[in-house]
């Protein structure tokens, strides 16, 4: 009798429309005296991610539909985020792009099925990416951002009163246009006369430019096999292309992937060790980003020593920055450079150097390589 009731309820479910994207259907039946659910997974156009429609059905035939975004972290690990809606999807020759409205984190930007940022906590990632290096520099004026298509890194750099010019170079015009239209929080940054937006491969752009910069930023997608930018994490790129474009007191900073106890060996420790082979002074630091469900890592490097003093950092924040930082202060910046024992030991013992022939990748696959 119970099974008969289940099948009867299933027969009255609406037929879901499909797209040219591949469709996989997963039925998850939780049988009880009154309810079960049907999980419909629509995959395609989002890399390793999927948007799921979940139908909850009770014995009185009432029906409620929920949407979930699912991100595959590893072969046997997935994260799920409840959605209000899928706001937009797009595809370029390099990457899949999606903008989701999540119930917990607000608007979320996805590239190749990987969470890039959410409006609820993106300030943590972008403040950590931009401000430590600028605050350690005696007087930064010119910044070059590799990637950064969503505009948030440029927004943070432009908060510094000493900054005269920010060059943002992203290879994917579709991503930049997408973010300019949909991420309204960065509208002022995109309109700022100090911002020079360039659509090009960052490597090629740096090679052809004669000017040097006080800070170069790697706001790149994670190194993924087949992705558009893993070559920009290699020793040869840092040594032959990037470093010559830094001023005498210049600082390079890059996002360096997950840095948790269980995830820091994927790429974080390798990026740190690779930079140690190129620069005299290298500092790794981390912060927890809730929407990433992990600790995240950044690495900054220079041939000049860093002065990490909480009081000095706080003074420079007050003197240099327009507005108020939401996450960083001098004390939190200094503390972020202190690793737990497990990660600290891994950084000391890491021997892998990132090369094109011997690269490490985040789980997942991109669409195309850099030109």
Positions marked catalytic:
219
- Cα separations (Å) of 266 from 59, 232, 260, 270, 310? 47, 16, 10, 8, 31
In the chain, count H helices and then E strands: 11, 17
Angle, CA of 350, 352 and 356, to the nearest 5°: 155
Q: Which among 231, 311, 256 is positioned nearest to 125, based on CA atoms?
A: 256
CA 229 – CA 266 distance, rounded (Å): 16
The alpha carbon dihedral of 70, 220, 301, 352 has a sign of positive
Query: In the chain, which ranges are continuous DSSP H helix?
Result: 2-11, 122-136, 152-157, 173-182, 187-191, 202-208, 235-237, 268-276, 310-320, 330-336, 341-349
Q: How far is CA 10 from the centre of its chain?
A: 40
Three-class SS state of 188 = helix
């Amino acid at each position: 009798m119970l099974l008969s009731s289940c099948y009867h309820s299933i027969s009255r479910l609406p037929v879901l429309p499909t797209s040219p994207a591949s469709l996989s259907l997963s039925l998850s039946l939780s049988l009880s005296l009154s309810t079960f659910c049907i999980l419909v997974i629509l995959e395609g156009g989002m890399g390793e991610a999927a948007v799921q429609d979940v139908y909850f059905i009770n014995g009185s035939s009432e029906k409620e539909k929920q949407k979930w975004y699912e991100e595959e972290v590893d072969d046997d690990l997935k994260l799920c985020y409840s959605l209000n809606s899928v706001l937009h999807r797009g595809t370029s020759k390099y990457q899949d792009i999606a903008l989701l409205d999540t119930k917990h984190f607000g608007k979320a930007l996805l590239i190749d099925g990987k969470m890039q940022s959410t409006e609820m906590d993106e300030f943590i990632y972008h403040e950590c990416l931009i401000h430590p290096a600028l605050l350690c520099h005696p007087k930064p004026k010119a910044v070059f951002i590799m990637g950064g298509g969503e505009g948030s890194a440029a927004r943070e750099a432009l908060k510094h009163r000493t900054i005269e010019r920010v060059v943002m170079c992203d290879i994917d015009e579709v991503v930049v246009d997408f973010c300019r239209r949909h991420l309204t929080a960065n509208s002022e940054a995109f309109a700022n006369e100090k911002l020079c937006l360039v659509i090009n491969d960052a490597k090629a752009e740096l090679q052809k430019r004669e000017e040097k910069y006080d800070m170069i930023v790697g706001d790149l997608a994670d190194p993924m096999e087949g992705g558009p930018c893993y070559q920009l994490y290699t020793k040869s790129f840092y040594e032959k292309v990037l470093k010559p474009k830094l001023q005498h007191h210049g600082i390079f900073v890059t996002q360096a992937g997950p840095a948790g106890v269980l995830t820091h060996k994927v790429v974080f420790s390798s990026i740190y060790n690779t930079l140690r082979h190129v620069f005299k002074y290298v500092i790794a630091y981390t912060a927890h980003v809730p929407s990433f469900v992990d600790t995240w890592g950044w690495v900054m490097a220079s041939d000049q020593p860093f002065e990490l003093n909480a009081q000095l950092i706080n003074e420079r924040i007050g003197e240099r920055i327009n507005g108020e930082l939401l996450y960083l202060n001098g004390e939190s910046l200094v503390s972020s450079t202190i690793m737990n024992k497990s990660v600290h030991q891994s950084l000391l013992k890491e021997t892998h150097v990132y090369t094109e022939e011997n690269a490490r990748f985040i789980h997942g696959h991109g669409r195309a390589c850099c030109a």
